[in-house]
Amino acid sequence: MQTSSLVRSPQVPYSAPVAGRVPGASASQSHASLGKGSFFGPTLPSRKLSVSAPRQRQPVRPTRAAKEVTVEIDKPLGLKLSESNAPGGGLKVTGVSGNAANSGISVGDTVIYTSSFFGDELWPADKLGFTRSAIGACPSPVCFVYVKGENKEVQVKRLPKRPMPPRFGRKLTAAQRELATHICVDCGWIYCAKTPFEELDDTFRCPQCSAYKKRFAKYDAATGKVKGSVPDQLATLATVVGGLVGVGILGYLGLTLSQVN
């Protein structure tokens, strides 16, 4: 029976590792590369991490609202309008002359509100045909609200109706003073149209407070005061006079009957 021969490698004496020493390196190199040791073992060399500074956010700037301008223009207006192609819509001013030019409105501005049919409200100027009809039917002067230049911010089609700016105590223009003939005794609205006040139908109402035609008194534009008597005073005077006359007649009849008996 044959026996196999085993080849044994030469035995190398075991040596325990020295703390803080890297295998294959000298003691000085090991200490230089690992640094000082600690209770938990050698300290590995640290690596610095680059931390970028936080990015600064730009401050948010608030959106500037378009500045609205309100003017009143006597008829005839001298104003030409067309549909605006601006993002917000409205009516673009394409021509100005006469009273419109004197009001300060310019070509290129955008109208966003105009007077209504009865002049007591402001309606959004989102449709050219409808706005033209309202302007033609409302009493003079016509109120316009516009923004300078192209309208980029105001969404005209989303605007609600507005009440007409109060006219009580307003300063009349030269053209209005020439036409001013009557004033509403309830709210102070002054009638300044070319059509004579007496020719108006009895269904006419004050565009500011809806008072009846009989609630108007004659107005002196030079002094800013009412001419003659206020309508209520006339009615009261007529009532008093009628009452006195009635009492006098009854007294006379009573005296006559007493003498007959």
Per-residue pLDDT of the chain (261 residues; tens, 9 = 90+): 454 444 454 555 555 555 545 555 555 555 554 445 555 555 555 555 555 555 555 543 433 456 888 888 888 899 999 999 988 899 999 999 998 988 889 999 999 999 988 777 899 999 999 999 999 888 778 899 999 998 888 999 999 999 887 665 566 778 888 889 998 887 788 888 888 999 988 888 887 777 889 999 999 888 888 887 776 544 433 443 444 445 455 455 454 544 544
**Domain range for 253:** 235-261
Instruction: Identify residue 209 by its one-letter amino acid code.
Output: C
The Cα-based distances of 47 to 28, 44, 50 in angstroms read: 22, 9, 10
Q: Is residue 179 part of a domain?
A: yes
**130 lies in the same domain as 205:** no
Give the Cβ contact number of residue 259 at 10 Å: 7
Which CATH number does the domain housing residue 208 bear?
2.20.28.10
Cα–Cα dist 167/159, whole Å: 23
| Length of the chain (residues) | 261
Q: Is residue 104 part of a domain?
A: yes
Counted domains in the chain: 3
| CB crowding 192-214: b at 16 or more within 10 Å, else e | bbeeeeeeeeeebebbbeebebe
**239 lies in the same domain as 223:** no
The answer to whether the CB of 192 falls within 8 A of the CB of 173 is no
Which CATH number does the domain housing residue 125 bear?
2.30.42.10
Q: Is residue 5 part of a domain?
A: no
**Three-state DSSP class for 246?**
helix
Q: Is residue 111 part of a domain?
A: yes
Q: Is residue 18 part of a domain?
A: no
Q: Which two tokens stand for residue 60?
A: 């948010």
pTM: 0.46
Q: Is residue 185 part of a domain?
A: yes
Report the 3 state secondary structure along 132-188.
HHHHHHCCCCEEEEEECCCCCCCCHHHCCCEECCCCCCCCCCHHHHHHCCEEECCCC
**187 lies in the same domain as 132:** no
Containing 130, the helix (H) or strand (E) segment is: helix 128-137
**149 lies in the same domain as 95:** yes
Helix-then-strand count for the chain, H and E? 5, 13
**Three-state DSSP class for 123?**
strand
Domain C-terminal end among 163, 185, 208: 163
Give the Cβ contact number of residue 77 at 10 Å: 21
